[in-house]
A and B are shown apart, each in its own frame.
Chain A
């Protein structure tokens, strides 16, 4: 088949999930004319297509949508802008001069030249190998997101009697989903002494269905030669090591893992972008540009978000800035660098410019009550409660940033009186 692609594009977006779709829209709004999205799946929309529950869009659309609805609205807007979406296609390599190699299901090997690139590859789930769970290697151990795709898109049940390790939102959502599909969910187990899911998901996914949540607990052994038969569960000590003499057995045929997400940065590392070990994503400036000029990053490949609305917001900006670069427009460089201080796990972007309002996303290292967040010595904000699973979003206007010209700023959170 003859390739539908042009030789050059203003902006090439890698990934057609929520980040890639919004980046393409942002680029179009900022005047980029030729925009290409490359996605490896059969259709754009990314993980939203399998997230059939509602809870998306309250910020961006001011109404609560399901994942597929959120995705379809964006796909429609993107297609109305004459953006080319190349599906069943995989970006093999991006050269430092932004020459891009693609393998396409329909068209074979393709090469295009981009004026700017937006990385929007998203993230993938951590698997059993990442936590080295001892035991046999039977069928029935899989990530929660894979089970979600099986159930919601392919109409397949992963098993009948399900245990879930990890209390992240995907695990909680799948606990409810599998109960509604007639499975028995024997419990959700969390290594940490606190849940990593949204409180409302603990209520509407676990409490509503009387599914127990056991904190400070892990899977110590997986039993079953061909199929999972049971698990040895154990409480963990302060060092998160299982206390085996207090273990117990749980009979089940399936173990779902919801144990964290890893930004998918193979292309970024091959490009030798400067990475942030705290986020697992590239370091970016206030225009979401990576250490290689012309290459931008947004969404879960940059840092794992908990709300798709924030992915959209970030990606719209990345797309706009990528379009500016493609059109030869350059903004002055940032002159404020951000550093993570006490109790702050991560911070994006990594530098700021006082010429416009800035959005900064932060995560704390541990749950904190009644605390004060400080940026340098001239900004503070009080929070009633901060938890690692809920990202903090700050907007900083020029009137605040102007106070900090040319400085290294440390962001810290200090707990107040312990409640």
Chain B
């Protein structure tokens, strides 16, 4: 029995419509992708769905009070809420530079979280 599963590739904004043929829980064939990311995405999404997480952490001394951050690798989809909750409890101090490590092994996922912008200190009022 061949089971067909339709997915939308999240690999890039193209959003290729993917069709997976599954036999006995194993992927037999993937069609519909325009680049190799699509095939890799289909396999990942079927066996272990993951998502990149971007959110913000508190930075009370910064030019803006929130610092945008992201996971450097995707985390398991069902761990996304835990990742976000952990980051919400965090507070960092300006100045921050882009790419700076904000937290390692976020919520036990083994994934590192980095700053996605440089954030100078809020200038003193005149």
Contact = CB atoms under 8 A, between A and B. Distances in A.
Contact of A72 (B9, B17, B98): B98
B21 interface: no
A203 B66 contact: no
A69 B114 CA distance: 11
A155 B66 contact: yes
Contact of A53 (B54, B65, B80, B84): B54
Interface in B52-99: 52-56, 58, 63-66, 68, 70, 77, 80-81, 84, 98
Contacts of A58: 12-13
A204 B98 CA distance: 25
A416 interface: no
A33 interface: no
A54 interface: yes
B89 to A, nearest CB: 13
A52 B116 contact: yes
A313 B52 CA distance: 26
B117 A69 contact: yes
A60 to B, nearest CB: 13
A258 interface: no
A250 interface: no
Interface residues of B, number: 29
Contacts of B10: 200, 203-204
Interface in A267-319: 306-307
A313 to B, nearest CB: 15
B118 interface: yes
A66 interface: yes
Interface in B1-31: 8-10, 12-15, 17
Contact of B56 (A69, A71, A152): A152
A68 B13 contact: no
A68 B66 contact: no
A251 interface: no
A64 B116 CA distance: 12
B69 to A, nearest CB: 8
B51 interface: yes
B8 A203 contact: yes
Contact of B98 (A52, A69, A200, A306): A69
B51 A154 contact: no
A289 to B, nearest CB: 29
Interface in A151-200: 151-155, 180, 198-200
Interface string A57-83: 010000011101101100000000000
Given A66-B68, A204-B51, A155 B58 contact: yes
A65 B64 CA distance: 20
A307 B13 contact: yes
B117 A72 contact: yes
B70 to A, nearest CB: 6
Contacts of A226: none
A155 B59 CA distance: 10
Contact of B117 (A49, A55, A203): A49
Interface of B: 8-10, 12-15, 17, 51-56, 58, 63-66, 68, 70, 77, 80-81, 84, 98, 116-118
Given A52-B54, A66-B116, A203-B10, 11 more contacts: A42-B63, A52-B55, A54-B54, A68-B117, A69-B98, A71-B117, A152-B56, A155-B66, A180-B81, A198-B13, A199-B17
A-B pairs, top 6 by smallest CB distance, nearest first, are A68-B117, A199-B15, A200-B15, A52-B68, A66-B116, A155-B66
10 contacts: A43-B63, A52-B55, A52-B56, A54-B52, A153-B64, A154-B65, A155-B66, A200-B9, A203-B10, A203-B15
